[in-house]
Amino acid sequence: MTEHKPTMPLPETMFCAEQIRIPPELPNILKEFTKAAIRTQPHDVLQWSAAYFSALSKGETLPVKERLEMPLTIEKTEAGLTLGLLKVLHKQLSPKGMVNVAELKEKWKHLCLPEEQLQAILQLDDFGEEVEWMKFLALGCSVLGKSLLSSMKHACEILTKDPEGGAARIPFEMFSFLYSYLASIDGDIPKEEVEVFLHKIKEEADKQSGMVLLRNFLSQASTLF
């Protein structure tokens, strides 16, 4: 019979089960980890767990979704970017204005997202080594949404400080920046239309202390009703 020593160095050998000592913080850590895992639903649990614990140990923002996202479509082997994941990325990367592409790739990988999608996004606009996060966010939203307005909706939902479900408000400047950027990327929409639209939005925003609401530019503001 092999002598199996427990992982922790013991002053004496153990004789009974009662002597096994569990570190007091362990249950909590495990619980948090489990909850995060359940919420995030990573495709590659190990990869993601590694990312989670490394972020935790470094004290960075954790790659955890805030809310449990039910998969809308039939799961493919590796599903792509979702709103929640984009939010996670935003949470992690938005404090830095300009993001290194390598770092972006790393974070992308941590979330078990397909690399091709990242490449596709990056190709939409010419980026160098550094990527402006807002632009990337806008592009990500455009991937999520079918139309310009729906992308704007996603962007609002990601960027807003309001609690979920309420009017996702963002400042008008942000809105106009994103909108004009996307319009420029899109290329189909003429500039005058953009101007007109933005002007109209601005009028409404002025009444709402400079904030743009979802219902200002959407006919149906909420997906819940």
Partner 1 sequence: MRGALAPPRPRVAVETVPRCARLLRVPQSAPAAPAMPRPRDPEVAAVPAVLYSYCSLPRTLPARPKYRPPLDAAEPGKEPVRYSNLMYDPRVVRGNTYALEVVPVSTPPTPFEIQRQKEAWKRALARKRAKEQMRPKAPEPVEGREHVQVQTELYLEEISDRVIEVDVECQTDAFLDRPPSPFFVPAKTGKDVATQLAGELFDFDIEVKPILEVLIGKTVEQALLEVMEEEELAQLWAHQRAYAELRNAELAEVQRLEEQDRRYREEKERRRRQHMQMLKKQKETAEKIAAQAFAKHYLADLIPSVFNNLREGGFFYDPIERDIETEFLPWLMTEVEEELEGKVLARIMLDSLIRTVVENRLEAFSRQPPSDQPEAPAEEPQPPEEPQAAEEPQPTEEPHPPDEPKPRDAEPQMAGETDAADQPVTEKEETDQPVTEQQSSQRMSFQLELE
Footprint on this chain of partner 1 (rule: CB under 8 A): 1, 3-6, 13-17, 20, 22, 26-27, 30-32, 34-35, 38-39, 67-68, 162-167, 214-215, 221-222, 224-225
Q: List Cα–Cα distances, 154 to 52, 116, 149, 170, 179, in angstroms.
A: 25, 22, 9, 12, 12
User: Of 27 and 210, which has the nearer Cβ to partner 1?
Assistant: 27
The distance of closest approach from Cβ of residue 55 to partner 1 in the complex, given in angstroms and rounded to an integer, is: 18
The distance of closest approach from Cβ of residue 221 to partner 1 in the complex, given in angstroms and rounded to an integer, is: 7
| Residue of 100, 104, 107 lying closest to 52 (CA atoms) | 107
Query: What's the chain's Rg over C-alpha atoms?
Result: 23
The distance of closest approach from Cβ of residue 200 to partner 1 in the complex, given in angstroms and rounded to an integer, is: 15
Give CA–CA dist 129/94, Å, rounded.
17
| Residue of 67, 132, 59 lying closest to 100 (CA atoms) | 132
User: Of 27 and 97, which has the nearer Cβ to partner 1?
Assistant: 27
Give CA–CA dist 125/119, Å, rounded.
11
User: Of 68 and 196, which has the nearer Cβ to partner 1?
Assistant: 68
The distance of closest approach from Cβ of residue 191 to partner 1 in the complex, given in angstroms and rounded to an integer, is: 30
The distance of closest approach from Cβ of residue 5 to partner 1 in the complex, given in angstroms and rounded to an integer, is: 8
User: Of 85 and 139, which has the nearer Cβ to partner 1?
Assistant: 85
Contacts of 150 (CB under 8 A, 6+ apart): 144
How many helices (H) and strands (E) the chain has is answered by 10, 4
User: Of 23 and 187, which has the nearer Cβ to partner 1?
Assistant: 23
